[in-house]
Structure formats: structure tokens, C-alpha cells
Amino acid sequence: MEIVFTLLINFCDNVKPPETGWGYTPSDDDRSLGADIERIHILWNLYCDNKVDVLNLQDVYGRMSEKFGELSDEEYLTNRNKPECNALESKIKIIRLRRNYDVENGIVMTRNIKSSLALLDTSDIVICIGAIGCGKTTAMRYIQDRYEDRGWRTVWFEEYINENELMENEIKDTLLCCDNLFGTFNCNVFSIETVTGFEHVIQKQREKCKGHLKVLLGIHQHAYDAVLKFCRVRIMDTKNLIDIDHLDKAEMLLIWKELKKESHCVRDPSCWFKNIEFSSVFSKMLLNQGLVGNPILMLMYCQHHDFFTNEDFIKSPVTTLVNHFKRMKEENKELFFVLVYIMFVRVYNVNQDIEPWAGSLSAELTEDSIKRCVKICPEYLIEENDIVELKHELLNISLFKASYDIHTVFDVLVHHCNISTILQLTRPKEECNCDFVSSLPPPYTDDKNMVKLLKRIADTRG
């Protein structure tokens, strides 16, 4: 009984404490589940002292049986002389458990996030590594918020560090963050100059700030592996690394619960996916090939339930998404071309006009269509401070691949897609050594055709 009561008050999200709190007699008008559980707790302890209010017990039992059904053996409750009952006559204590994982503003405090914070307290450099979608950015944003709470100045960069934005006349405690180091899409074109130049900037800032600087970096696992193949980076010592990929089952369960709070099911009470248990999700996660993180897969399940029933998605997420976007072009052209446009420009300010060339993608592509899609499609687009972006890099990669097979879209891609996106996503397989990030479909995977393609882009873009 004590174990059951402990589990109920500590781990069951739908069991809220009575208004008076656990361990105190609920008010007569409180008929909530938590209040009745507390009444059972009190009545049980009275029963152990040979005191019991039968009328009160019957009221509670009536409500419980109405909610959960009759017990299989009612005599068990009424026959106090049964030996099985005597063996259980010990009072129930209130045991409050401190969970290993807390949730703050929807973010699950995993061991890796806590380890990153602890390591940054004692070291001046921490590097978060892991597969795409494993939660590196989430971890880094949380750490940034905690340091801002401490009064630190924080500076955030993507892919590379701009020294000009670091200039300060006054030395102050600064947290320097750089996410997606060496490439948003994991496929930046590496060179020794790029890596050593980055290391020089970090070392220069460390010497200048003399103990007032901490550095937090996020890098995709195979981007990290690619760097180490041709260049030893002194600051990337293994003692500074935190592998964000590793999540235990309890952490995944809490992440799943938080994701479901903003899932498609919330907007559709009759949705079949509401009844999917975490055990089914966890079974699918065991099939993950490790090319993407489990959090992004669970996020996609919450927003696109058909991916949950598609066995191919867990094994080939990009291929599944590419096919999904091809169908979208036929079934929802407005949304498809809005997403492609955002992929081309990377970021879009809702207070500015769209690019003049947008009409060559689709005549239906307007400022109003973008605003409309942002409101009704939060699973694809996010808006923060009037800036619209795709929700995740996984969508960028998949849309880019889908664009190759559409002649009219491909022409606009060559002329207007963000050049960094093109360079990063047209690396050959043998260079990035990962099928997941190879975005060139046949025949462009052939070296000669790749050269022709890149030459066409270079001639077009100057």
C-alpha cells in the first residue's frame, strides 16, 4: 500500500494533491481524485488503529468503483479476520521522492544538461556533441539562460564566431556560445585554415579576458569526426566533451510527456494517437540507427502521426520526409512553397516584403500566405521576434532534397537559394561519409555531373 501511495503522489501526472495538500484531511466539497486518494490514506491509517468511519469509506469506495470498476474480491475489504488482511496492517507514511530529472519551462533537465552546467563551472570550455536532433541547441539555450540569470553577458553565434561582435571596451564575465560549429547542416567544407582560424579566435579571446570568458560550443557528431580526420584541435579535448545523445529511458519518457503537451492531439480531442503508450514509442526508438537523435523523432511523431505508423521513418527519416514533401506539393501547394521559400532564404522577417523572385516559385506565394502558414502549421515553422524559420534542420535537408526533383523549383534554387545551404548540402558522399547528409540524388552523385552542377551555380551566382 505504501509503495502504491508513494508512486501515486510522486509520479502520476493526472493525480493532483487535494487543496489542503497530502497528509491533511480534504475539505468536504473536494471530490477530486487526489482528495479521495488522501481520504483512503487517512482511513487506512485509522483502520490500522482499529478506527474506521464506515460511511466515509463507502462514499469514497463508491466514487472509486464508479471511476475504475469494482474490485475482484469485495470480501477482502469487509472481512478483517482474513489472514491476508492482517499481514498488510501497517500505516502508510508519506514519502516524497526527489526525482533525478526536473522539468523547467518544458525542458527536461537530463543528466547531460546538468553535467554540462557542472563542467562549465569548473572549466572554461564545454563542447556539446551528438547527432542532429538530439537536443544540443536546447541544452545550450538552457545554459545560456542560467548564466544570464547570474548576470553574465552572453553572445550567441551560428556556425562561426564574428570577432567584431565580441569587441567590448570593458572586460566583463561573458559566455560565448557557438551552435552548429563548422556547419548548420553538418556538411561545411572543411579546411585546416578554417579550423585553426577558429581555434586562434578562441585562444585570443581567452587570453584577452583572463578568466572572465567561458565558451560553450555545439557541434554535430560527424562534423566533429570530420575535423579530427585532418586536424588536431587543442580546445576539443575529450575532457571538455559532453555527449548529448545518451538518454536513459526515464529521460526519454519525460521528454515524450513534454512533447505531447503541444502535440497535434491537443488540438484534436478525438485523435487516435492520444492512446499511444510510451512503451510503444520506446520500442520504436530501439530501432533508431543513430543518424538522428531520439528527441527529434519523438517530436515528429507528436506532430505527424502517420510517421509513427510508417516503419521506414525510424530507419530513413530524410527519405520519408522527402516523399512527404513531394505529396504536399500536390495536396497543399501553398504550404509547400512557403516552406521551400523559407528554406531558400533561411530566415524571413514578417515586417519585410518577400523577395521579388518569390513569384517564380509560385504565384500564390505572398506575405499573407507565409503569415497564414505560420499560424496554422507550428509543426513546420517557428516565429520569434517577427523572424520566421523552419522548425528544424531536418526539414531544411529534406526540403532541399525534394527540390532537386522539381524542375521549376530547381531553377530557382540555383539562382536564389542561400549559397551556404547549397555548398553544405552538395558535398559528395565520400567526403562527408554519411548517407544521411548526402543531399544529391542521381545523377548528381556522379563526380562529373556534380562538377557541372556546381559550375552552373558558380556561373549563375558569380
250-309 confidence digits (pLDDT tens):
889 989 989 988 887 887 888 999 888 899 999 999 999 888 899 999 999 998 899 999
CB 295 within 8 A of CB 134: yes
**Same structural domain for residues 321 and 434?**
yes
Residue 265, pLDDT score: 82
> Do 129 and 236 have their domain in common?
yes
The boundaries of the domain holding residue 430 are 317-461
**Cell numbers standing for residue 202:** 578562441
Q: What is the pLDDT of residue 325?
A: 93
Please state the separation of Cα 230 from the chain's center in Å: 31
Residue 85's pLDDT is what?
Answer: 47
Output phi, psi for 307, to 5 deg: -65, -30
Q: Rounded to 5 degrees, what are φ and ψ at 382? A: -125, 145
Asked whether the beta carbons of 354 and 370 are under 8 A apart, the reply is yes
d(CA 295, CA 162) in angstroms, rounded, equals 30
**40 and 166 together in one domain:** no
Residue 112 included in any domain = yes
**pLDDT at position 66, please?**
84
Position 168 in a domain: yes
* Tens digits of residue pLDDT in 309-356: 998 899 888 889 989 999 999 999 999 999 999 999 999 999 889 999
Same domain, yes or no: 311 and 322: no
The predicted pLDDT at position 295 comes to 94
Res 275: pLDDT = 86
Residues 259 and 251: beta-carbon distance below 8 Å? no
| Predicted local confidence at residue 439, as pLDDT | 47
For residue 6, how far is the Cα from the chain centroid? 30
What are the cell numbers at 60?
Answer: 469514497
- 292 plus 334 within the same structural domain: no
In this prediction, the residues of the chain whose per-residue pLDDT falls under 50 are: 85, 87, 186, 432-439
**Pair 274, 356 in one domain:** no
Asked if residue 343 belongs to a domain, the reply is: yes
Same domain, 311 and 377: no
Number of domains in the chain: 4
Please identify which residue in the block is written with the cell numbers 567526403: 431
Whole-number pLDDT of residue 428: 58
- Give the pLDDT confidence score for residue 187 in this predicted structure: 53
- Domain limit, last residue, from 217, 243, 269: 243
174-179 vs 213-220, strand pairing mode = parallel
